[in-house]
Each structure stands twice: as structure tokens, then as C-alpha cells.
Structure 1
Amino acid sequence: MKFRFKALQRMREPDELDSPTLLAAPRGWIALFVVLITMTAALLWTFAGHIPITVDAPGLLTHPNGTALIQSPYGGMVRSVLTQPADQVALGQTVVEVEDAQGHTQQVTSPFGGQVVGLSVTAGQVVEPGTPIASVERTDASPDRMVAMVFVPAPQAIGLAPGEQVDLSVSTAPSSAFGLLRGTITSISPYTLTKDAVSGLVGGDLAAQRYLTGAPPRLVLIDLVRDPATRTGYAWTSQSGPPMPLGSQVSVTATVDVGRQTPFNLILGR
């Protein structure tokens, strides 16, 4: 009877047709608007935004003329080796002496000036004409300076232009501790390089293998940005860079910006 009484009482009450009905709390509307705004912004960014496309390319720190091989024009036995790695050689300086089949001593001279970075022969070794004798990093460019030679695969080099900024990860200075070395593109080879061309720049076939793992590369020459306030004399993404001088013949990896792409095209794989 108690429930019956409440039901009859409820039926006697007038309908509250003029009372507002709360469909959603204010917090619910705020959350809905935030979701809609976020989705709209994400959609606009998908079609109108741009993502930088970068490629990592191997290279080395060297001088503008690179590293070249000295080859023996004579056949015979090496009588003496007159230079050692890290020695400086001048144009026309004797590098090794070779005794030919007639017993004459022939002098193999350097056709350029630079620093010896490797020897390929020892005293007593028999050589043929054209045998590599030594690798020399040429320092006879005018003016001479430290540069980075980077070998970018030809398909990824499209769009690169002189003046663009490049960051270099130096193998002897971990980027996590010292940052990246700053550089500026000064030139790009108009044609792809053959294996022999790469070998001629880096000092032999063995050294060239690192730069010939994919498509034929194009040579990108990068000038280092100078900063006298750092220990190396060059600018880094960190404040001071590594606490030691920067040497040549050091491997680097360049991060090159090769263009931009919308997220929509990236999703579609264009």
C-alpha cells in the first residue's frame, strides 16, 4: 500500500513540461570541443603541413684535393723507402727507390705535395709498373683548408644546392657529448662518380668501398663554418664542441636536407 500511495500521488502532480532538461554537463561540451579542434588541426596538418626529408651520407674530413696515390712508373725491387706515414712530402720529392732489372736505381717521386697517410710497399718488395707506393693527402690546393667530402647517392642528391646548411657527425667526437659540426655546401658534382673516381679522391679501392654501397654517388663538398671561440676553430651545434683539435682523414656522416613532404603523401608512400 505504501508504493501504491506514492504512485497515486505522482499521478496527481502536474507535468513539468516547462522545466529545462539537461542533456549534457558543461564539462562534456568542453571535452567535445577540444576533441573536434584537435581533429580539425590534425586534418589540416595532414594536407598542409610539411615534414623535412633528410638523408645520412658518409664522408670524411680532408683537404679540397683529397687523397691521391703515388704509383711506381718502374718495375723492380724496392731498395729503400724514404718516407713514413704523417711525413710531409713536396712536389718532386723522392718517396722510394727502385732497382730495375738492369741494376739501375730509379727514384719514384711525388707528383704533388701533401701528407703521407699510408704506405703500400716495404724494402725488398718486388713491384710492377703502376704499383701503388703511397697514399698522400694533398695539401697543395690554393687556398688550402679543411673541408668535408660527402658522397650522396645520386637519387637523393636531387635538389641539393650550394649554400645549404649541413650538420656533420664526427666519428672522433660523439654527437651525444659534443654536438654536430656545422657546414655549408659549396659544390655538388654534376655527374655521378665512378669507382675509380671515388678511389682517386679517398686514396684507393679499399677506402672507396665505404662510399660505394648503393647507387653511384655524387660528390658534395662542404666548407666548415669557422668559430674562433671553440677549441677546434669550427662551429658546432653545442656551445663549445670537443676539447681537442680537429684532424683530417676522419670519418663523418652528414645529415642532408633533401626536401619536404606533406604527411598525406608520406602516408601514401609518394
Structure 2
Amino acid sequence: MQFRRTALARLDAPEALDIPVRLTRPGGWLVLAGLAAVVASGCLWAFAGTVPRDVTATGVLAVSQPAFPVQSTAAGQLTELLVQPGTGFAAGAPVATVTTGDGTRTTVRAAVAGRATAVLAKPGQFVTNGTTLANAFTVETTDDPLMAVAYVPAERSTEVGVGTEVNLTVRSVPASAFGVLRGTVLFVQHTPDTSTQIAPLLGKELAAEVTRDGPVAKVAVALRASDRTVSGYAWSTWAGPPDRLVSGSLVTATISLPPARPIEMMSP
């Protein structure tokens, strides 16, 4: 009956109404204050902070007269490809052989004289009339300064400003070893281009890939000159690659955009 006596004693004792009730321990207030500070900092950063942004675009190095595609003039299986990067050819010279459906071997000839910069097809694959076999540049323009022509989604072209910094990854140059090309936006063509319009520069297949999600806008990029590199242009590394750049080389351009507030990026 000891338990019953203790319970009765508590019932008979007056309530301690003058003793304050402890709602939380002092350490709990510190935790709450810390959480409040974190939330306040997050809100401040969301409205007053900035986040760097960029847009990636596919493009090509070009001279004042852009590179041209070497295209098949027959449909069938590509039996032989006679050009490689660096191969020069005269107007009318054979550049490939295509075997048509009836077994006829058709010689594909170059429309104009040039030098191949990139091969986009390989023997054994099936091609159509107009399929780009290689990219080339006209021999007469090899000493002209290079620039880059890239294509961004048309709806984002208004975000790209003249003078904006651009990093160019040349697909034929290992970026891990030699870095990226430096450049700035020269001009932005806000009028959208279709696959058909950019095919002469990029080739039919790449043009279709670039415009797969919709029209694109042309961005011209001026390459930053440098007298310490073999290429004559500035790279993110000191010396850049040991070879000169050629027109028609494919590039991936990373174009800086104006920074945005985090709250704007979270808005639909």
C-alpha cells in the first residue's frame, strides 16, 4: 500500500503555481536559432544572390568564306572514301565510290577544289544523294583568320550578348591535354535558322541533330589571338595544341550568360 500513500500525498499537496514551467532546454533554443538563421540566409540568397549560367552550342571553325561539305551525288552503299583529314583535292577529283542498288559503281567527284578537314562517313554505310561525306575548306582561304560559328536554341538567343566570353572545345583536340579555345561573341543572328539553312556549313546529318529540338540561331565567335601558341589563338593552357587549326573543325561552344537570381531559376 506504499504506492497508494504516495499518490494520496500528492493529491493533498497544494499545486506549485508560482514555479515557472520549462518549455524547452537552453540547448533547444540554440538549435531553433540556428535553423532560423539558415532559413533567413537561404531566403536572402534566393532573392539577392546570383548563379552563373551558360548555354552549350554545336558549331564549326570557319574562315570568311565558310567551309563546304563534300556530299554524295548518288544513293547506295559507300564502297570507298578517298579523302582523310588533310587530304587536298582538285575540282572534279574523285572523292568516293558508291555502289547503287542495281550494283552500279558511281564515282563521287568534288564540286570545287579544297582540303578535307573532317570525315563524317565511313565505307560500308548507306548514303543518299546529299549525304555529307566530309567537311572541307577552299584552298584559297586557308590563311584567312578563323572564327567560330555556333548555333544556340532560338529561344535563348536573346540571352546571348555581344562581347560575351566563350570557351570552345575543338573536337579534334583533347581538351584534357590542351584545354579550350578562348573567344568572345561577335554578333548574334536572332532570326532562326532551319536544318536546311545550316546544312551547307555543318553537313546534313549534324544539321538535323542540332535542329532536332527546334530552330536555332547563329552566333559568330571571334577567336582571341595569341602570339605564344602555334595556332595563333589563345587557349586555356599556356601553349595550346602543337598543330594549327583548320577551317571546318567541329567545336562545342560554352557561352556565358548573365547570372540569374536563384528565385528566378525556381520559377516555372
* TM norm structure 1: 0.62
**Mapping of 1:143-154 within 5 angstroms?**
144-154=144-154
Cα RMSD between the aligned structures?
4.0
- Which residue in 2 is equivalent to 1:179? 179
> 1:50-94: CA deviations, max 9, x gaps?
21221111112232322235899xxxxxxxxxx9664657xxx74
State how far apart, in whole Å, the 1-side matches of 2:249 and 2:231 are. Answer: 14
**Is the aligned partner of 1:115 residue 2:128?**
no
2:234 counterpart letter in structure 1: A
1:222 counterpart letter in structure 2: V
State how far apart, in whole Å, the 2-side matches of 1:263 and 1:230 are. Answer: 39
Q: For the structure 1 residues 141 and 242, does the alpha-carbon distance in structure 2 shift closer, same or farther, using more than 3 Å as the test?
A: closer
1:225 counterpart letter in structure 2: R
Q: For the structure 1 residues 41 and 240, does the alpha-carbon distance in structure 2 shift closer, same or farther, using more than 3 Å as the test?
A: farther
State how far apart, in whole Å, the 2-side matches of 1:119 and 1:158 are. Answer: 32
CA contact (8 A) 1:63 1:139 kept: no
**Mapping of 1:123-138 within 5 angstroms?**
136-138=136-138
Q: Could you tell me which of 86, 92, 117 is aligned with 1:95? A: 92
- Which residue in 1 is equivalent to 2:3? none
CA contact (8 A) 1:65 1:141 kept: yes
**1:178 to partner: Cα distance:** 2.7
Larger mean CA deviation between 245-254 and 179-188 belongs to 245-254
Among all aligned residue pairs of Structure 1 and Structure 2, give the percentage whose two residues are the same amino acid.
27
1:233 counterpart letter in structure 2: G
> 1:118-162: CA deviations, max 9, x gaps?
799xxxxxxx9x999996424656982111111111012113222
- Which residue in 2 is equivalent to 1:7? none
Unaligned runs of 5+ in 2: 1-24, 73-81, 95-108, 122-128
CA contact (8 A) 1:170 1:252 kept: yes
2:193 counterpart letter in structure 1: L
The structure whose Rg is larger is 1
> 1:205-260: CA deviations, max 9, x gaps?
23423322221111111111111112332212233333433333322111112333
- Which residue in 1 is equivalent to 2:261? 262
Unaligned runs of 5+ in 1: 1-22, 73-82, 98-107, 121-127
Q: For the structure 1 residues 65 and 44, does the alpha-carbon distance in structure 2 shift closer, same or farther, using more than 3 Å as the test?
A: same
- Which residue in 2 is equivalent to 1:218? 217
Q: Aligned residue pairs: how many?
A: 213
State how far apart, in whole Å, the 1-side matches of 2:260 and 2:195 are. Answer: 32
- Which residue in 2 is equivalent to 1:165? 165
* TM norm structure 2: 0.62
